[in-house]
Amino acid sequence: MQSTSHAFNENVDHALADPNLQDSLGKLKVGFSERRRQAAERLPEFEALRDRARDIKNHALANLDFYLEEFERKVVALGGHVHWAPTAADARDIILKLCQSMGARTVAKSKSMVADEIALNEHLEAAGIAPIETDLGEYIIQLRHEPPSHIIAPAVHLTKDQVADTFLEHHAKLGFTTRLTERNDLVAEARYVLRQKFLDADVGLTGANFLIAETGSSILVTNEGNADLSNTLPRMHIVLASIEKVIPTLEDLATLLRVLARSATGQESSAYTTLNSGPRRPGDLDGPEHYHVVLLDNGRSSVLGTEMQDVLRCIRCGACMNHCPVYGAIGGHAYGWVYPGPIGAVLTPQLIGVEEAGNLPNASTFCGRCESVCPVRIPLPKLMRHWREREFERHLTPAAVRQGLALWGFFARRPALYRRLTGLANRVLALFGRAEGRYRALPLAGGWTRFRDLPAPQPGGTFHSQWARKRGAR
């Protein structure tokens, strides 16, 4: 997917001025977080499960090569194939060749962030193959030529009316000429339209929430059933998964499932959690004849062993962005690429470079709400700070900020000098601010005073000067 992360500030301006988006974000902020809170409350073992989930992922990452090899062995033994894709281009080529080997004209796709990461759809379309998004949210944004704005609810930025307009525009030629107003009618219409596409598709392509080394299974967690139709009806099922998705055993899966749905949507379990282990067996009446797993690296193997390694624990639940006040103000598109919110702020610079995505880890107050809800306890603010450190080292921090910091640092290292300077600033600001108690405008403080008043210092001098006067100098 093409990135607009470098245009973060412009993206933010658009987002803040978009009434439909702001309306949708208003609902998101309250909805997901409340449901997660209730789900966590209902399960006394939830915190212990989070700790365990973190430990499982850490163990899997520390032994990632071993578990990938075991996974491959099992898949091959079941009659499937495993392909290794070091880069996005490798993955695209492998998938295109597989689709061409089936003479595919259409590919039924269920939601995959990794597919967006490697810009798969454009690659298939350029080769004359039509990818059909079947996840309702992905289908809607595919019609609108928009990227997803959330990792589990891709169309969360849209209102019902916007969806109705989109359906009217695109379904009219299929005979649906009434503009719908009810959500269940919209869902029913999408179901009808997409049903035939499932049945006609030559290839089904899904992501995977997890890969199980023990059994060679790929796991899909959905609510709609589209992923399961995509991997059952067509003759070939392709699983596209990044390498850090592999976990050791079914028992490990149980722990991760217990924290995934609750963290994502507050459900005890999603409607469909499916374990696919290879192609159809002799005697099966349905299922794909061909089963291919494409393992994508795309930079993840180099994150291991670095201070960023913890980000690879992510199980893509979306809780961080559901609870992030910055995401809640600007929505997902502002981040400019596939992964928004706090996880996006850490992962995007890693995958597409900090020169392109430098704003993302900076646009955070480090409030810590993301870390407090992450089911695998990723220290997201700390990782964002690491990005800021790397930017500082490489002089990517804006010059004004570096200079301001250097100046401030000069004084902060010299307490006596600092005292004199702050004493002066205090007296000046207190004097001119005395009448109103605050400043509506102040030179050099435009960033603050554009939107809010700046309180003036209390009269009487700095704390230190008053303390010295009242309690005697030390």
Partner 1 sequence: MISPAPARRPQRVALFVTCLVDLFRPSVGFAAVKLLEDAGCTVEVPALQVCCGQPAYNSGDRATTRDIGRQVIAAFEGYDAVVAPSGSCGGMLAHHYPGLFDDDPAMRARAEDLAGRSHELMSFLVDVLGVERVAARYDGAATYHDSCSGLRELGVKAQPRRLLASVEGLKLNEMASPEVCCGFGGTFCVKYPEISNAMVSEKSADIAATGADTLLAGDLGCLMNMAGKLQREGRPVAVRHVAEVLAGMGDIAPIGEPERGEPEPAKT
Partner 2 sequence: MSEARSQILNTIRRSLRRGELSGATREATLARMASPPLGPIPMRAQLPPAGRVKLFCQWAEINNATVARVSAAEVPGEVAAYLARNNLPARAAIAPSSQLDGLDWKSQKLLELRRGNAVASDAVAITGAFAGIAETGTLVMASGPEHPVTLNLLPDTHVVVLCEGDIVGGYEDVWGRLRARYGKNGMPRTVNTITGPSRTGDIEQAMELGAHGPRRMHILVVRE
Residues at the site binding partner 1, with contacts judged by CB under 8 A? 12-13, 16, 325-326, 329-330, 362-369, 371-372, 385, 387-393, 397, 401, 405, 408-409, 411-413, 415, 418, 422, 425-426, 431-438, 440, 445, 447-448, 450-464, 466-468, 471, 474
Binding map of partner 2 across residues 138-167, x = CB under 8 A, - = no contact: --x------------xxxx-xxx--x----
Nearest distance in Å: CB 322, partner 1: 12
Told to check if 85 binds partner 2 by CB under 8 A, we report: yes
Output the smallest distance, CB 458 to partner 1, in A: 6
CB of 315 to partner 2, least distance (A): 14
Q: Figure out which of the listed residues 5, 276, 348, 364 binds partner 2, where binding follows CB under 8 A.
A: 276
> What does the alpha-carbon distance between residue 2 and residue 399 come to, in Å, rounded to a whole number?
27
Q: Which of 364, 370, 420, 129 is nearest to 263 (CA)?
A: 370
Q: Which stretch binds partner 2 (CB under 8 A): 272-280, 327-335, 339-347, 424-432?
A: 272-280
Residue 38, contacted partner among partner 1, partner 2, none, CB below 5-8 A by kind: none
Count, residues near partner 2 per rule CB under 8 A:
107
Q: Are 141 and 168 in contact (CB under 8 A)?
A: no
3-state secondary structure of 294: strand
- Binding to partner 2 by residue 198, rule CB under 8 A? yes
Phi-psi region of 132 (alpha: psi -120 to 50; beta: other; left: phi over 0): beta
As beta bridge partners, residue 238 has: 205, 292
In DSSP notation, 9-23 reads: HHHHHHHHT-HHHHH
Among partner 2, partner 1, none, the one that 130 touches (CB under a kind-dependent 5 to 8 A) is none
Q: Which of 40, 95, 129, 233 lies at the binding interface for partner 2 (CB under 8 A)?
A: 233
Cα dist from 395 to 22, 73, 353, 398, 457, whole Å: 35, 46, 14, 8, 34
Q: Which does 448 bind (CB under 5 to 8 A by kind): partner 1, partner 2, none?
A: partner 1
C-alpha–C-alpha distance, residues 212 and 49, integer Å:
19
Mapping DSSP to helix (H, G, I), strand (E, B) and coil, where does residue 4 land?
coil
Interaction partner, residue 16 (partner 1, partner 2, none; CB < 5-8 Å by kind): partner 1
Helices 399-412 and 415-433, axial angle in degrees (round to 10): 110
Are residues 438 and 456 in contact, defined by beta-carbon separation less than 8 angstroms? yes
Task: Give whichever of 20 and 196 is closer to partner 1, judged by the CB atom.
Answer: 20
The structure tokens 């030529």 sit at: 145
Q: CA-based Rg of the chain, rounded to a whole angstrom?
A: 26
- C-alpha atoms less than 13 angstroms from C-alpha of 193 in its C-beta half-sphere: 23
- Residue 56's binding partner, choosing from partner 1, partner 2, none, with beta-carbon cut-off 5 to 8 A by kind? partner 2
- Which of partner 1, partner 2, none has residue 68 at its interface (CB below 5 to 8 Å by kind)? partner 2
